[in-house]
Amino acid sequence: MAAEMGEPKVIRPQPGPQEAFLASSADIVIYGGAAFGGKTFALLLETTRHCENGKFGAVIFRRTTKQVKAEGGLWDTSEELYLELDAKPNQSNLSWTFPSGARVTFAHLEHEKNKTDWQGAQVAMIGFDELTHFTAGQFWYLLSRNRSDSGVAPYIRATTNPDPDSFVADLIAWWIDQETGYAIPERSGVVRWFIRYRNELVWADSPDELRDQYPDLQPKSLTFIASSYKDNQIGLSKDPTYISNLDALTNVEREQLKNGNWKIRPAAGDYFKSEWFEIVEKAPANCRWVRYWDRAASEPTSQNKDPDYTAGPKVGKAPDGIYYVAHVARDRKRPAGVLKLIKETARADGVECTQALEQDPAQAGKTEMDFYITALAGFDVRAVPKRADKETAARPASAQSEALKVKLVRGAWNKAFLDELENFPKGKHDDQVDGFSGAISFLESDNVKTPAGETVPPSPDQFIPESRKQSGRSITLKRPFIASLFGRRSS
C-alpha cells in the first residue's frame, strides 16, 4: 500500500481471502479455487514471515522448471517482492537468500520419482503453486520432509485452481458443495483436523476428538480458503480487462477458472456446438491456408470394425481474423493408402496450401517425416511437434468457435464434421477435432520455425491474452513493516 511521497511503502495482503490465507495457523492451508485471486503473490509473501530467521528455509514447488521461469510466473513475481527485502538471487539454482541467511528455493517435481530427490531434507515451509498439477504421492511424501530445527513449526501452503479429477478435490471436499461444485462461503477458512488410519483419512472438528480415538496418532490441521478475481482488486485495477480473458474461455474452463466450480467436467457439447458455425458458400480469396493432418494407419477389419480415421481439415484465416473450414479429407487406410491420400489431396489444394503433419519426438518420427517431405516434394510441407493432450489442444479452436469466428464452406462433409465436434470429448472419434484444432494453432503460430526448420505451434495459453505484468514503479519496503504484518509461528 503506497503512503505519501517520501514515506516508506508497505506491502501487505489484500483484505479478504488473501489476508485470511496469510493469517491462518493451520498446518496445511490450500488457497484459491479460481483464477486471478492473487494466489502466487500470497504464497511468496508467506515466505517473508520468517525472513529474519537465519535458520529458516522454504521450498516452493511447481510441476516443471519451465513453469517457474515462465514470464510473469513464480520467479518474475518473486523479484518484485524479494529484491525490496535485500534478498540475493541465484538463478542457477532458483533460490533467494535474505541478509539473515534465510533461504527460499524454487523447485520442480516433473516426474513422480523426483519426490525422492528430497529424501533426508528438512524444510520448514513447503509451498505448492497449483497443487492440482501434482500427484497425491508427491504431496504426501513431501509432507514427510516438512520438519525443521529453525524454531518454526513446519507447515504447508498451497495454491490451486479447480480440477474435479485431482486428489485435491477429495482432500477439500468438506469445503465444497458436492452438488453445485462451488465453495461453501461459511466454511472457507474453517480449520479441520485429520489423521491417516489404515491408509484412509479420518476427519474431525477438533484434534481432541481424534486423540481420544487414536491416541497413538498425531492430528494435522487443514483448511481451504476460496478466492476469485473479485478478491484481487489490485490486479483488476492494473488490468480491468482481465475479466474478458476469462469470458473468452471454453464453457468448462470458464466455469472452473472464473466461477470456481470443482465438479464440472467436459461433456459432449462443452467444447463445440453446431450452432456456432455458420455455413457459407465460399471462403474469401485472400485466406492463408493450411491442411492439418491427423494420421491413423488402420482399415476396418472383422476384429476392428471401427478404427480411427486419417483426417485433414483444410482451414484458412482471412485478414479480418475469421477462420474458414473449406474441406475435410477423411479415410481409413493403411500407411501406403494414407500417403496416397495426402499426396492426392495436396495436389488438389495446390502449393498455396501448407500441408502440416505432426511429428513424434523419437528418431522414428523424424525418419517418417523425412519420408513424407521427400514424397511431397514441390509442396509446402511442415513438420509440427506433437501437441498436448487432446482437450488442451482443442481449447483455442473451441474459444474461436464459441466467439463465432469459424465458418464452414458448404459441403457433404459438414454433418460428419459437426457431429464429431459436438460429441467431443466423449465421442468414439476425434480425428477431425484434432486436425481442426491443430490447424487453428498452426495459423496462429505465424509459421515460426526452429533452427531445424520445424514449425512450433503456440501454447494454448497464448490464445488467452496475458495480463500479469506488474507496474514498474519501485517500492521501498523496510523489514520491520513486513514483520508487523504477521503473527509469529514458532515451535
Q: Do the beta carbons of residue 118 and residue 145 sit within 8 Å?
A: yes
Residue 423, Cα to own-chain centre: how many angstroms?
A: 24
The reported pLDDT for the residue numbered 196 is 95
Helix, strand or coil for residue 325? strand
Which pLDDT score, from 0 to 100, does residue 446 have?
53
Mean pLDDT of 269-293: 94
139-190 pLDDT tens trace = 999 999 999 899 999 999 999 999 998 999 999 999 999 999 999 999 999 9
Tell me, what's the pLDDT at 291?
97
CB 103 within 8 A of CB 58: yes
If one compares 208 and 12, the residue with the highest pLDDT of the two is 208
- Rounded Cα distance between 320 and 313, Å, is 21
**Cα pseudo-dihedral 184, 185, 191, 195, rounded to 10:** 10
Q: At 230, list the grid cell.
A: 473479485
Task: Please list, in sequence order, all residues whose beta carbon lies within 8 angstroms of the beta carbon of residue 423, skipping any fewer than 6 positions away.
Answer: 268
pLDDT tens string 78-123: 999 999 999 999 999 999 999 999 999 999 999 999 999 999 999 9
pLDDT single digits (tens) 29-79? 999 988 888 999 999 999 999 999 999 999 999 999 999 998 888 999 999
Residue-level pLDDT at 490:
46
Domains parsed from the chain with CATH numbers = 17-248+477-485 (3.40.50.300), 269-463 (3.30.420.240)
Instruction: Using the predicted structure, report yes or no on whether residue 259 has a pLDDT greater than 70.
Output: yes
171-175, 209-213, 248-252, 291-295: which has the minimum mean pLDDT?
A: 248-252
Percent of the chain with pLDDT over 90: 69
Confidence band, pLDDT 50/70/90 cuts, at residue 7: low
Give the separation between CA 284 and CA 351, rounded to whole angstroms. 17
> Closest Cα to residue 260, out of 175, 166, 181?
181
